[in-house]
């Protein structure tokens, strides 16, 4: 094993952030490359994936997963290249997707990571597994098809429509027969991408003070499906514009920063859910783990036939990992935020 | 028709209330008794039913029904006795349930009122149609069985559990197999009734400042079904204590007063619906109109076999009708608020 490196860099959590993450919340430390044991792989990490849920993992509160501890490398998923393998069917040089964390090297036991998978032979672009065929694409798929359930005649609203999940969710609604698909996004270039590339019928500025009124003007009869990634006052404006029997999919709440403090902006229009017989429902993509294969086959088919457009927003270098997470909450990413680790 | 009276008293809307209703918002006026035409009935009204939704009907905002106009008698349902009949199968002296409004006499065309029904022959207590076998009982039935769907092992929470709907909803949860049924109510005598008569396992004081913590202590694993009649900060405390995959039934929001102003208290814990894969859903009982007969048969059976307890909270005299509505929002009623009209 003459080609084994002699050190491993890790970006560890130094302190819990209060608001959006800053570089000071993390620290780049150097240590030995870990040693893989029986049934394990040593990976050289190649690509990191960024997801809003990661912000929640560094709050010191109980949630569906335990928080990252101070001094531990930041928890993350991504693509790694196999350096050594004691796992049948996995060869040196192969790319795999699993929990790799913010570091150069990682030891993985595939039998202990439910998210582990080898990149299929012949996959033209393995980074598809970071976004449209990865957790964000699957999240969009199950949230829209299992909870939103748009059908013919439905008007669908997707917030943060230029994001990795929102962009896919809206396009799935169209594929499933929705009559109109409307998005919201921030910057003008992102809104242009949502309509011109992703093919939404319209995309409103979700920072517009009159967004509630604009949402009404865009669909005076209300929205039958609302796929929300933003939360806060924008979600409240969405509820105000919900149609009778609307399904509101609570996917994320990027505007709240996933912070442990009680959010300042509460929902005020929830009573309208009663008079409109409407539903608001949250979910975790892992609820549908047993259906990932079917979902991914659908998603891959739509990518292949050109009906599903997607973007990868790429940073480079482990030292920029905090910036990757920060960009999500600053609304800077177009499509899936990823980071390519230096060779 | 020598027994026909010569005047009809009506309690009409004089001005739209700002907060809870006051006597000044209404005015008792006297006019001629209306004349029934072809296919119509003249009723002498006997019992008025009070429901929180009525407060919404006197706000000047669009909703699922148009608002009551200034100068019109207050819209209400109740029981009337047939004085004259030009309707086949309906005889003088029979009691019927329909929209009767706040007045002594009303003319009704049964073919134009979907809520019209004759009190069945042999029904021992026609006032059952005001509450447990009426719209409040049906509301509890469909909200709990169609949306809450409690099953074995489930812990169920019902807010305003001493009210006409909450008391029935909690007992239905028990009948449907819920393991534990916990309520909230205000006054101590109401809480005692909820546990001692309605058979809930516990009933918390929903005015307690620490109600969020008390709800946790009563069910540390969370509530699988939450049937909410109160809204506001109590609903927020309920969401905080929702179990994974909880179903939160939005039936009413009595704490908000059904007022048109943007409610001051917003929901802050809605993000937990995502991490807990929980659902919050509103409904109108009229969505289930085609299933009323089946529901009422179930409810009547449970009343008959002693598994469903109910109360009628009785006022007397048309002049006290505003007080009937006011009592609902002051949390004074135990069970169904009704008013007996003077002979």
- Indicate the pLDDT class of residue A339, thresholds 50, 70 and 90: very high
Question: Which chain B residues have a beta carbon less than 8 Å from that of A279?
Answer: 279-282
Tokens of B161: 């559990």
pLDDT in tens, B116-148: 999 988 888 999 999 999 999 999 999 999 999
Strands B180-185 and A95-99: unpaired
pLDDT for residue A6:
80
Grouping H, G, I as helix, E, B as strand and the rest as coil, residue A336 is strand
What percent of chain A shows pLDDT beyond 70? 96
Helix%, strand%, coil% for chain B, nearest 5: 30, 25, 45
Q: Which residues of A touch B (CB under 8 A)?
A: 56, 63-64, 231, 235-236, 250-253, 256, 258, 262-263, 265-284, 287
pLDDT above 90 for A240: yes
Q: Are B273 and A280 in contact (CB < 8 Å)?
A: yes
- Indicate the pLDDT class of residue B6, thresholds 50, 70 and 90: confident
pLDDT for residue A261:
60
> What is the rounded CA–CA span in Å between residue A97 and residue A116?
6
- Indicate the pLDDT class of residue A18, thresholds 50, 70 and 90: confident
CB atoms within 10 A of CB B277: 20
Average pLDDT over residues B217-233: 97
Which regions of A239-297 does DSSP assign to beta strands (E)? 242-250, 279-282
- The candidate with the shortest Cα–Cα distance to B227, out of B136, B107, B343, B121, is B136
Domains annotated on chain B, with CATH: 8-131+311-340 (3.90.180.10), 135-286 (3.40.50.720)
Q: Are A280 and B275 in contact (CB < 8 Å)?
A: no
Tokens of A270: 């929830």
Q: Are A279 and B276 in contact (CB < 8 Å)?
A: no
Whole-number mean pLDDT of chain A? 94
pLDDT in tens, A71-100: 999 999 999 999 999 999 999 999 999 999
Grouping H, G, I as helix, E, B as strand and the rest as coil, residue B169 is helix
Average pLDDT over residues B197-207: 97
Question: Which chain A residues have a beta carbon less than 8 Å from that of B270?
Answer: 231, 235, 250, 253, 267, 280
Contact B283, B277 (CB under 8 A): no
> What is the rounded CA–CA span in Å between residue B271 and residue B152?
27
pLDDT for residue B2:
45
Q: Which residues of A28-56 are buried (b: 16+ CB within 10 A; e: fewer)?
A: beeeebeebeeebbbbbbbbbbbbbbbbb
Closest-CA residue in chain B for A249? B274
pLDDT for residue A2:
45
> What is the rounded CA–CA span in Å between residue B160 and residue A114?
44
Rounded to 5°, angle at Cα A266 from A261 and A268: 170
Average pLDDT over residues A184-207: 97
pLDDT above 60 for A262: no
Q: Are B274 and A266 in contact (CB < 8 Å)?
A: no
Nearest CA-CA distance, residue B281 and chain A, Å: 4
pLDDT for residue A343:
63
> What is the rounded CA–CA span in Å between residue A35 and residue A4?
10
Tokens of B228: 């909410």
- Indicate the pLDDT class of residue A1, thresholds 50, 70 and 90: very low
Q: Are A284 and B277 in contact (CB < 8 Å)?
A: yes
Nearest CA-CA distance, residue B266 and chain A, Å: 4
pLDDT above 60 for B206: yes
pLDDT above 90 for A220: yes
3-state SS track over B191-257: HHHHHHCCCCCEEEECCCCCHHHHHHHHCCCCEEEEEECCCHHHHHHHHHCEEEEEEEEECCCHHHC
Residues ≥6 apart with Cβ < 8 Å to A2: none
* Mutation choice for B interface testing from A143, A275, A286, A288 by most B CBs within 10 A: A275
DSSP A335: B
- Indicate the pLDDT class of residue B1, thresholds 50, 70 and 90: very low
A122: left (phi over 0), alpha (psi -120 to 50) or beta: left
> What is the rounded CA–CA span in Å between residue B186 and residue A40?
60
**pTM confidence score:** 0.92
Sign of CA dihedral A196, A198, A203, A208: negative
Q: Are A268 and B262 in contact (CB < 8 Å)?
A: yes
Residues ≥6 apart with Cβ < 8 Å to A63: A56, A57, B275
Tokens 């865009």 sit on residue: A218
A/B interface, count of CB pairs below 8 Å = 103
Q: Are A277 and B270 in contact (CB < 8 Å)?
A: no
pLDDT in tens, B285-325: 999 999 999 999 999 999 999 999 999 999 999 999 999 99
Question: Which chain B residues have a beta carbon less than 8 Å from that of A276?
Answer: 64, 282
Question: Which chain A residues have a beta carbon less than 8 Å from that of B267?
Answer: 266-267, 270
Give the residue ranges of DSSP H helices in chain A: 53-57, 135-142, 164-175, 188-196, 211-218, 232-240, 272-275, 292-304, 321-329
Contact A95, A113 (CB under 8 A): no
- Indicate the pLDDT class of residue B3, thresholds 50, 70 and 90: low
pLDDT in tens, B252-262: 988 887 766 65
pLDDT above 70 for A263: no
Contact A242, A278 (CB under 8 A): yes
pLDDT above 50 for A319: yes
pLDDT in tens, A99-109: 999 999 999 99
DSSP B128: G
pLDDT for residue B23:
95
> What is the rounded CA–CA span in Å between residue B50 and residue B135?
10
Question: Which chain B residues have a beta carbon less than 8 Å from that of A269?
Answer: 262
pLDDT above 80 for B18: yes
């Amino acid at each position: 094993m003459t080609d084994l490196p002699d050190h491993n860099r890790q970006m560890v959590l130094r302190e819990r952030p209060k608001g959006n993450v800053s570089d000071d919340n993390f620290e780049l430390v150097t240590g030995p490359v870990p040693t893989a044991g029986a049934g394990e792989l040593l990976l050289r990490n190649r690509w990191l994936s960024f997801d809003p849920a990661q912000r929640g993992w560094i709050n010191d509160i109980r949630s569906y997963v335990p928080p990252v501890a101070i001094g531990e490398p930041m928890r993350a998923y991504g693509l790694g290249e196999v350096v050594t393998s004691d796992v049948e069917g996995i060869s040196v040089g192969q790319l795999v997707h699993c929990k790799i964390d913010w570091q150069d090297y990682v030891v993985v036991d595939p039998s202990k990571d439910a998210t582990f998978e080898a990149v299929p032979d012949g996959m033209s672009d393995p980074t598809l597994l970071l976004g449209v065929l990865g957790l964000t694409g699957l999240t969009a798929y199950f949230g829209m098809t299992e909870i939103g359930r748009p059908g013919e005649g439905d008007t669908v609203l997707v917030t943060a429509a230029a994001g990795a999940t929102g962009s896919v969710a809206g396009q799935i609604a169209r594929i499933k027969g929705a009559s109109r698909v409307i998005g919201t996004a921030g910057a003008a270039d992102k809104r242009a991408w949502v309509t011109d590339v992703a093919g939404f019928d319209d995309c409103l500025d979700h920072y517009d003070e009159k967004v509630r009124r604009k949402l009404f003007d865009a669909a005076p009869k209300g929205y039958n499906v609302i796929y929300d990634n933003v939360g806060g006052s924008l979600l409240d404006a969405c509820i105000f514009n919900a149609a009778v029997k609307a399904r509101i999919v609570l996917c994320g709440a990027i505007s709240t920063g996933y912070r442990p403090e009680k959010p300042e902006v509460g929902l005020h229009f929830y009573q309208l859910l009663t008079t409109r017989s409407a539903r608001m429902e949250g979910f975790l993509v892992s609820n549908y783990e047993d259906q990932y294969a079917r979902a991914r086959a659908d998603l891959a088919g739509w990518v292949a036939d050109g009906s599903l457009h997607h973007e990868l927003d790429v940073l480079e270098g482990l030292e920029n990992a905090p910036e990757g997470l920060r960009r999500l909450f600053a609304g800077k990413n177009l499509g899936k935020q990823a980071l390519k680790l230096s060779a």
